[in-house]
Amino acid sequence: MSDLLIFLAIFLSLTVGWLIGRYQGIFQVRHHSDSNLPSKYFKGLNYLINEQPDQAIHHFITLLEDDSESVELQLVLAKLFRKQGELDRAITVHQRLLARPDLSEEMRQKVHVELAQDYYSGGLHDRAEQLLLEANQHESGEAVQALLFTIWEEQKEWLQIIEMAKRFKSLPSSLAIRVVGACCEMSEAKPSESYSYLNLAEKYHAESVMLHFSFAQTHLREGHPRKALKRLKRLIMLDQSMTPVALPLLKRCFQEKGLWLTSYKEVLEDWYQVNPSISVVAELVSLIQKQDGKDAALIFLTEYLKIRPSIPGLVQLVDLHLKSEQEHDQATIKMFRNLCSQIIEERSKFQCQKCGYQSSRLYWQCPNCRKWESIRPVFGLEAE
Ligand SMILES: [Zn+2]
């Protein structure tokens, strides 16, 4: 017998007991209510005493159905059932609520979403989608759209999300970021229509890091490195922790512009000021080496490592030294270097800020908690 069932049965018995007390108060004034209620209540208690929580819950819920003010309470109960995987119970409570003629429109909408959530949790995605689309025709609430988006994201139906968004001039931020996600996915899937998707996304959420990244990618693909550079600078202004992610695109901007060394170094130095991540430092070190020689690069890197020690930084330091060491010393140094590289290879480079999910590559939508733009580079000894 599950502890939850016993807990729920006791909780319900207390609630129904309280309702009866309230009714009897009203009864004295209005001559209202079902005078059989106390005896029905005792029947439920009897189930509980006889260790039959299933029957007790069923019985108490039936009693609650007669009470017009218990709708919220039934919704909470059904949610508890769903969380415990008791989907049939949750669905029954919701269907019975929908059958009530006295249910307000606002509450009906709420129950629809909850019932759709039951179907969704049970893997009946089509049924959930159908129900939500019907509910959405009458009144489009945020909860309805949020669950529809979840279903479409799972099925990678990005166009459905975009079409729904087009019906609104603006969306709450929790939905807007998901529209941006859908647009970026479409931009990648259909490069010839990238700009139209990205421009649309910008109307809903212009501050999205993912959007600026996609714009930069598209500009580079279309041969506009200057525009790409603008987007990358904006991206770093919005989120300094993204320098390691933006760096490969930044490099391409300058390679394709032909302004290789000087301007590139300026931007790198700016990024170094806002976030001295090891990826940026590594790029700076190799530029310093090209411009001012190995000794200048060594001094720069050594000073950096004193302040921010990291294994990737150490590997670079070893690499610089390797170039000048005598051959007989190199074997030991190489072994040390390879060991460090192995540590770096095996680490997680990215982590979700919402659920802690770790990965070696960047996902704009967390594969674990499905949040958009929640994954960021990891900083620390073994990482950036
Ligand atoms: Zn996550």
Residue 105: the pLDDT is: 81
What is the arithmetic mean of pLDDT over 301-325? Answer: 77
Nearest in space to 90 (alpha carbons), one of 68, 128, 127, 122: 122
Distance 321 CA to ligand 1 centre (A): 40
Which residues contribute to the annotated binding site for Fe cation?
352, 355, 366, 369
Q: Is the pLDDT of residue 307 over 60?
A: yes
Residue 382: the pLDDT is: 67
The rounded percent of the chain whose pLDDT value lies above 70 is 83
194 in Cβ contact with 179 (< 8 Å) = no
Specify the range with the lowest mean pLDDT, choosing from 62-66, 185-189, 213-217, 286-290. 62-66
Block residue for tokens 């599950």: 2
Distance 243 CA to ligand 1 centre (A): 20
pTM of the model: 0.73
Residue 335: the pLDDT is: 66
Q: Average pLDDT over the chain, rounded to whole?
A: 83
**What pLDDT band is residue 69 in, cutting at 50, 70 and 90?**
low
Q: Is the pLDDT of residue 31 over 60?
A: no
Which residues contribute to the annotated binding site?
352, 355, 366, 369
Distance 363 CA to ligand 1 centre (A): 10
The CA–CA distances, whole Å, from 149 to 7, 145, 165, 224, 330 equal 34, 6, 10, 33, 57
261 vs 187, residue with greater confidence: 187
What is the arithmetic mean of pLDDT over 232-249? Answer: 95
pLDDT one-digit tens code per residue, 149-187 = 999 999 899 999 999 899 888 888 899 999 999 999 999
pLDDT one-digit tens code per residue, 283-297 = 998 888 888 888 888
- Helical pair 105-121 and 142-154, crossing angle rounded to 10 deg: 20
Distance 118 CA to ligand 1 centre (A): 23
Residue 224: the pLDDT is: 92
Specify the range with the lowest mean pLDDT, choosing from 55-69, 194-208, 220-234, 267-281. 55-69
Helix (H, G, I), strand (E, B) or coil at 375: strand
Distance 183 CA to ligand 1 centre (A): 20
Residue 39: the pLDDT is: 67
Both tokens of residue 151?
Answer: 């279903």
Q: Name the residue ranges covered by the structural domains of the chain.
A: 220-275, 276-326
Query: In whole angstroms, what is the distance from residue 73 CA to residue 69 CA?
Result: 8
What is the arithmetic mean of pLDDT over 103-132? Answer: 86
Distance 257 CA to ligand 1 centre (A): 37
